[in-house]
Amino acid sequence: MVVCGGGPAGVTAAIAAARRGAKTLLLEAHGCLGGIWTAGLLAYLLDTNNKQGILREILERIAQFESQASGKPAALATCCDPEVVKIVLEQMCQEATVLIQYHTRVCGAVVDRASQHRLTHVIAESKSGREAFAGKVFIDCTGDGDLGALSGCRFAFGEPQTGLGQPMSMICLVTGLTPSDVRPYYRQPGDDWAGPKDRLRLEMEKGGHSPSYAKPSLFHVRDDLFLLMANHEYGVRGTNARDVTTATLRARAELHRLIHGLRSLGGVWKNLRLVATAEQIGVREGRRIVGLYEITAEDLQAGRRHRDAVCRVTFPVDVHALDPKREKGIEKAAFKAKAYDIPLRALIAKDVRGMMMAGRCISGDFLAHSSYRVTGNAAAMGEAAGRVAAAAALDGRLPEEIPCPLPPT
């Protein structure tokens, strides 16, 4: 079987499938695994508290790695060093005998129209040229639903009324901060959500630059290492290379201006340095592939449960502002989401047979997507998709023919 995309969903899908005995190929466009956690530098894992399985293993392995490096007792953390995440994911995939191919981007698909629209090959391009990879089952973990779109699946994008998607954000790593000195500017458990962000924004404005994201956020990784999210790129589409390029150029320039402005203030910011900007700008909104079931806002309001549940989401509705003229932070939610299930059917493509999805490209509406898109849920979905896809591939069946839930590995 073939997994396209090595982000949080793709990695867990590949590991789960390989552990069940399926020969598994993982294609990744970048030179590392982890997607937004690593190439995107946002190793801040959301909606993980109620998740077990491979995601829990990843967190435990990260904690062990950090403990060996520091000599301190292992402690689970959800804000991690992206470099540690890279090596942990590679080790786990290699231990599971996943075949990884980096620097390889999906660019086409072969669908057998005579066999009820069965997906038979994925086409990809790399330094090796154009290649076709056959598989019995495929999982689209590209985030933007690239494989689904190339296979001819229907999809939705953005807010139905306007067609706008949530803004992109570029993350950066900064050093030179003493945690106790900048404690008012980053959150810890028990802190209110807005206070540290608003104080950080005021400091940025004192330095001469107002951030495009009105709720800039510092996340403490360890020692003097922090993640910073302070950027919004509005009105751009993650499925358009020109838009992504324009957003990347603007975002990186803005981050340098913001850091320079803070450093010019002296005081707690005098040693602040930007050490890395993300290779890949963070894309919140991509294609939502039509599946056998669509998760809707009504599911969130009702806290809907499903017999074929693969993941329980506890994250709220989280729409980053679509129009900066109206709002530059988070849109006010019209309702409070209850914990709800993601069913296996939302991970199975409706228009093409033999294809599943995991991560933010699964089947759902705009508001539901703003809740389930975070990476703790993506990883849980990936594991479920990998297990079901492996069972289907090994038994010569389709994913929708596999009973759910599956027994443990």
- Give 132-156 pLDDT, tens digit per residue: 999 999 999 999 999 999 999 999 9
Q: 277-317: per-residue pLDDT in tens?
A: 999 999 999 999 999 999 999 999 999 999 999 999 999 99
Under the banding of pLDDT at 50, 70 and 90, the label for residue 408 is low
Angle between helices 375-395 and 8-19 (to 10 degrees): 30
The residue behind tokens 């849920």 is 377
Q: 168-202: per-residue pLDDT in tens?
A: 999 999 999 999 999 999 998 888 999 999 999 99
Radius of gyration of the chain (CA): 21
pLDDT of residue 115: 82
Residues 6+ apart with CB under 8 A from 205: none
Quote the mean pLDDT of the chain.
Answer: 96
Sheet holding 25-27, edge to edge: 99-101, 25-27, 2-4, 138-140, 355-357
Bridge-partner residues for 343, per DSSP? Answer: 309
pLDDT of residue 224: 96
Angle between helices 8-19 and 53-70 (to 10 degrees): 110
In the chain, the percentage of residues whose pLDDT exceeds 90 is 92
The reported pTM is 0.96
Residues 6+ apart with CB under 8 A from 195: none
Residue 34 has pLDDT above 60, yes or no: yes
What span, in angstroms and rounded, lies between the C-alpha atoms of 146 and 129? 19
Length of the chain: 409
Q: 357-374: per-residue pLDDT in tens?
A: 999 999 999 999 999 999
Say how many C-beta atoms besides its own lie within 10 A of residue 139's C-beta. Answer: 32
The residue behind tokens 């598994």 is 24
Q: What is the DSSP string of 367-383?
A: HHHHHHTSHHHHHHHHH
Residues 6+ apart with CB under 8 A from 242: none
The 10 Å CB-count burial string (b at 16+, else e) for 289-322 is bbbbbbbbbebbbeebebebbbbbbbbbbbbbbb
